[in-house]
Amino acid sequence: MGAPQFLSRAAPCAAPPKAALVGVALDLPLDTLFTYRVPAALCARAGPGFRVRVPFRGRPRVGIVAEAPAPPRPGRVLDVLDAPDAEPVLGPDLLELGRFVARYYGASLGEALAAMLPRGVRHRRAGRERVEARATPEGAAAWQAQAEDLADAQRRVLRHLVRAADWLPLGALLQTARVSASPVRTLARRGLVELARRRDVADPLVAATRAPGPPAPPPTPTAEQVRALQRIEAALGAGGYAAFLLLGVTGSGKTEVYLRAIEAARRQGRQALVLVPEIALTPQTVARFAARFERVAVLHSAQGEAERAAAWRCIRAGEVDVVIGPRSAVFAPVPRLGLVVVDEEHETSFKQQNAPRYHARDVALVRARDAGAVVVLGSATPALESWANAQEGRYGLLRLRERVPGRRLPTVQVVDVGAPDEQPGGRSRFSRTLRVRLREALAEGGQAILFQNRRGFATSAACARCGFVLRCTECDLALTYHRSETRALCHLCGHERALPRACPECALPGLALRGAGTQTIEAELASIAPGAVVARMDSDTMTRREAYEEVLGRFGRREVDILVGTQMLAKGLDFPGVTLVGIVSADLSLAQPDLRANERTFQLLAQVAGRAGRGERDGRVVIQTRLPDHPAVRWAAAQDFESFAAEELRERRAHAYPPYARLLRVLVRGASPEAVAARARAVQERAVRHAGTGCQVLGPAPPPVARVQGQWREQILVKAPDHREIARVLAALRAAPRPRARVEESYDVDPYGA
Ligand code: ADP
Ligand code: ZN
């Protein structure tokens, strides 16, 4: 058969023409491949891993060939419409990884593959434009006047734009304001919002030359760093898979170990992936890598589509030595993977919260094993799963016990806020000790960080007489009062309203405000530290990346004395001027209904405490709590991860909790509580039928927040001795007929927050 002229340069067709059927994975929650016929002219471009455009339910969709040739199938088979690429977008290794993700986490292959590719690659439209929005002066005025004719969603849009006082990418705006595009369009028509199109600049490589000034010479590694490196380099030299847990106290120089390990991989002509928590992906972080390597690429979700796609293509072409990114970077198409670093491996942001609900650290381990690469998981406070793996010899354990020369660990003081001499009257959030230490630090010219893991001013508004609590109309949650916006806000769905002047139930004037957030602390500082410059960092003030950079810049230049914030502050900030870190309430996170509440609290306290004492002067940490003897508090104060882990793991073993068991959470949700309950019961019965001995099926029961955005929720928890049992139950549940319309069912393997 004579090939048409335009195909003569393409690779010869691998499959004989009569077998030119392919199985295509589509980004739908349907657990099946769809069979299409490949026209002869396209057969060189429709092998495994290629993008194809296919007709599906009357309209074209882009999918990925997952099976070629596919077995014949009865019935009418439609033709592939187009195969736009000369090369597959996914090589055999990543296709296989996608199969693993789908299987392990109970997603469809199409969903898994879609999660692996940047949008700009999946739907390549060269030079994509993006739309940005900002409030017009009229819009700002309408917002300030609290114009009556604004719908809730429009109000939210305006609030974000007015606060940003700048252009915001439309995508980011819709996400933070939790609205669809239509209220924005309405506002634009009324002249309250302005829209503009911009082209992304494709500049995928972070050139080392762009770092300001000549790079500082690398420090001489400490003896502990040398020992850790020798083991990593030996593993790289051996050429096969190996995994290490790098347990290093805050400020012990873990990044220096990563940098030198990457250099070793580069010398072998292999690439490195560096996964960092989304919030830690700052220009400072990137600059540390860019100062050492020339060919560094960054992949992250705040990037423009085109920019991200361009970076992805450079990576695939082998033009990059180091890829840095958040969890999705675990799928970056590096041709010769040598090393994967997962920094702050205990961070929950490595777990994706929608399908496929994968954990990037765990996927990294699988990918490295298949590629014969080395993995380094680094943390001062590792996840107990990782710690158990290291204890049981599955990971090599590398320890950095000391901070780098010139830096000592801070002195930590635990203050029992219940003690009478700490609270001399009043309802202050500051104990006597914290006040004294704060004034001391400021008097000595130091800076302070105050940590309160809750935003807003009051976490509830309630009637002092009848007990009425102001709640979200859509969610089963009390509204948080935000003083700077003078509105009560739902932290789940963003619903907001004015504070009623009187109790709607019993008409008693004035609701009582209870519970402290970051705004409360900020407000109280005016009297505790008058004259100090205070900045607040939480998701209310940090709606844009630039705002975050700006506050950190001001803090770094010492234009700000006190930084008040939520857990945003806990990550990798390195400020030599900070001599005091105050944790206003350690008890907030202990009270969470989560089997990992102790672990989370320990991590948070130890990480926040690690922010002090990074400079010449010694640091001090004050932890306020009502539970001074709680193990999470005690061991965090001692910066003693290993003792905490030993104690907590005993508890986990006694209750058969992870890491000594595996969990599957099934969440059923819908607008009708009866339909949700019925489906949840059916799920539970099926799970019980398929669960082996040693498994437990718990529920159905409503999760801590039973209703979110008008959707009722019930969950079923399957607890099993190992993943094989979980996989069996998961397969059985997924094989069941889909739920009735308007009830949704989702699966979360190795869930968080259970
Ligand atoms: P970690 O990630 O363990 O908290 P970092 O890697 O951020 O610690 O290191 C803290 C600081 O110490 C950085 O400024 C780094 O440049 C510096 N540093 C790292 N290793 C050394 C060393 N061997 N000697 C001196 N300074 C070092
Ligand atoms: Zn709500």
**Predicted local distance difference test score (pLDDT) of residue 1:** 36
For residues 392-420, give the mean pLDDT.
89
**Predicted local distance difference test score (pLDDT) of residue 580:** 92
**Predicted local distance difference test score (pLDDT) of residue 427:** 75
On the question of pLDDT at 545 being above 70, the answer is no
Residue 378 Cβ < 6 Å to ligand 1? no
Same domain, 219 and 244: yes
CA of residue 487 to ligand 2 center, whole Å: 14
Point out the ligand 1 atom lying closest to the alpha carbon of residue 288: 16
pLDDT grade for 614, boundaries at 50, 70 and 90: low
Structural domain of 624: 411-457+516-648
CA of residue 523 to ligand 1 center, whole Å: 35
**Predicted local distance difference test score (pLDDT) of residue 125:** 52
pLDDT grade for 457, boundaries at 50, 70 and 90: confident
Check if the beta carbon of residue 534 is closer than 8 Å to that of residue 571.
no
On the question of pLDDT at 3 being above 60, the answer is no
Same domain, 168 and 228: no
On the question of pLDDT at 737 being above 70, the answer is yes
- CATH for 741: 3.30.70.600
Where among 62, 93, 117 does a domain terminate?
A: 117
CA of residue 654 to ligand 2 center, whole Å: 37
On the question of pLDDT at 636 being above 50, the answer is yes
Distance separating alpha carbons of residues 297 and 166, to the nearest angstrom: 27
Same domain, 214 and 348: yes
Beta-carbon neighbour count of residue 148 at 10 Å? 6
On the question of pLDDT at 248 being above 50, the answer is yes
CA of residue 129 to ligand 1 center, whole Å: 41
Best residue for ligand 1 mutational test, from 256, 292, 376, 578 (most atoms within 8 Å of Cβ) = 256
Residue 222 Cβ < 6 Å to ligand 1? yes
Where among 400, 423, 440 does a domain terminate?
A: 400
Same domain, 374 and 444: no
pLDDT grade for 751, boundaries at 50, 70 and 90: very high
CA torsion sign for 336, 337, 339, 344 is: positive
Same domain, 143 and 216: no
Higher-pLDDT residue of 444, 132: 444
**Predicted local distance difference test score (pLDDT) of residue 2:** 35
Residue 292 Cβ < 6 Å to ligand 1? no
Same domain, 560 and 617: yes
pLDDT grade for 615, boundaries at 50, 70 and 90: low
CA of residue 395 to ligand 1 center, whole Å: 23
Same domain, 261 and 350: yes
Determine, yes or no, domain membership for 12.
no
**Predicted local distance difference test score (pLDDT) of residue 324:** 95
Same domain, 417 and 395: no
Over residues 79-90, the pLDDT tens digits come to 999 998 888 999
Over residues 250-270, the pLDDT tens digits come to 889 999 999 999 999 999 999
Over residues 459-499, the pLDDT tens digits come to 778 888 888 888 888 877 788 888 777 788 887 777 888 88
**Predicted local distance difference test score (pLDDT) of residue 369:** 97
- CATH for 277: 3.40.50.300
**Predicted local distance difference test score (pLDDT) of residue 14:** 52
Residue 225 Cβ < 6 Å to ligand 1? yes
Q: What angle do CA 173, 174, 179 make, to 5 degrees?
A: 135
- CATH for 71: 3.40.1440.60
Ligand nearest to C-alpha 248? 1
Distance separating alpha carbons of residues 594 and 146, to the nearest angstrom: 39
Q: How many domains does the chain have?
A: 5
Residue 251 Cβ < 6 Å to ligand 1? yes
On the question of pLDDT at 178 being above 70, the answer is yes
CA of residue 250 to ligand 1 center, whole Å: 9
Residue 405 Cβ < 6 Å to ligand 1? yes
On the question of pLDDT at 9 being above 70, the answer is no
**Distance, C-alpha 162 to centroid of its chain:** 26
Ligand nearest to C-alpha 488? 2
Round the average pLDDT of the chain to a whole number and report it. 86
Residue 154 Cβ < 6 Å to ligand 1? no
Q: Measure the N-to-C terminal CA separation of the chain; round to a whole number of Å.
A: 60
Ligand nearest to C-alpha 402? 1
Residue 248 Cβ < 6 Å to ligand 1? yes
Residue environment code for 445-474, b if the CB has 16+ CB neighbours within 10 A, otherwise e = ebbbbbbbbbbbbbbbbbbeeeebebbbeb
Eight-state DSSP code of residue 498: P
Higher-pLDDT residue of 569, 287: 287
Same domain, 445 and 415: yes
Same domain, 440 and 531: yes
**Predicted local distance difference test score (pLDDT) of residue 180:** 86
Same domain, 208 and 333: yes
For residues 587-604, give the mean pLDDT.
86
Among the ranges given (194-203, 426-435, 573-582), the one the predictor scored with the smallest mean pLDDT: 194-203
Same domain, 542 and 684: no
Best residue for ligand 1 mutational test, from 255, 258, 343, 575 (most atoms within 8 Å of Cβ) = 255
Where among 182, 199, 216 does a domain terminate?
A: 199
Higher-pLDDT residue of 172, 238: 238
Point out the ligand 1 atom lying closest to the alpha carbon of residue 225: 23
Over residues 96-145, the pLDDT tens digits come to 999 999 999 999 999 999 999 988 788 765 444 567 888 888 888 888 77
CA torsion sign for 649, 654, 660, 662 is: negative
**Predicted local distance difference test score (pLDDT) of residue 662:** 96
Q: Is 448 helix (H, G, I), strand (E, B) or coil?
A: strand
Ligand nearest to C-alpha 217? 1
